[in-house]
Amino acid sequence: MKRCILLITAMLVLIIQPASADNGKTFMGVGAHFAGKNFEFDKSTGASFTAGHHWNETWALVLETLFLDDFDISNPLTDDDVDVRQVSALLRWYPIITNSAKPYISAGIGYLDIHVSDDNTLNGRLSKADICARGNMGIDWPLNDNLALEIELAGTAGIDKLSLVSFHDWNMKLLYTF
């Protein structure tokens, strides 16, 4: 599953970046995440990769990946911790544009894969994957013409087979604009 997510992400990045590099509005970044359930703090850390493109000052299309390990989300599979892998496509709206900070909200759908972290004896039977809904709100702080610091609060809710899975994550990303 990790390879599939990384391959999809790499392909989308290679498609998005050359097509829009002349406009100077494509961005990519990496981030660190802290995730929780019901706003409890003893949960999981992880990482993410983000790529997107602003088609004007107030709208952007964003592809986001999320990797969380040993996450205690009281999941429907088991009482054990799970590993979470997610890829989402989001539509982002910047309602206020300033030179110092740009707040935003975004929403979209994605693919969520969860499996038990210590799954050696069960041959993968405690793994599930399905679509999910994702939304976030945050602020982009420009550091210079190309770099920005992004801080956000996001939430994910599983759909269908994963309807009992929901969590939120706080994250901080460093973005580079081409």
The residue with greater pLDDT, 64 or 98, is 64
Residue 21 DSSP one-character state = G
**pLDDT tens digits, 153-167:** 999 998 888 887 788
Residue 14's pLDDT is what?
Answer: 55
Q: List C-alpha distances in Å: 43 to 8, 17, 95, 126, 136.
A: 27, 34, 32, 20, 19
The residue with greater pLDDT, 37 or 172, is 172
* pTM of the full structure: 0.78
pLDDT, mean of residues 74-79: 54
On the question of pLDDT at 58 being above 50, the answer is yes
**pLDDT tens digits, 100-156:** 899 999 999 999 988 775 555 555 556 788 899 999 999 999 999 889 999 999 999
**pLDDT tens digits, 5-56:** 555 555 555 555 544 445 558 899 999 988 876 555 556 788 999 999 988 8
pLDDT, mean of residues 90-109: 92
3-class DSSP state of 18: helix
Residue 20's pLDDT is what?
Answer: 46
Q: What is the dihedral of CA 38, 165, 137, 142, to 10 degrees?
A: 100
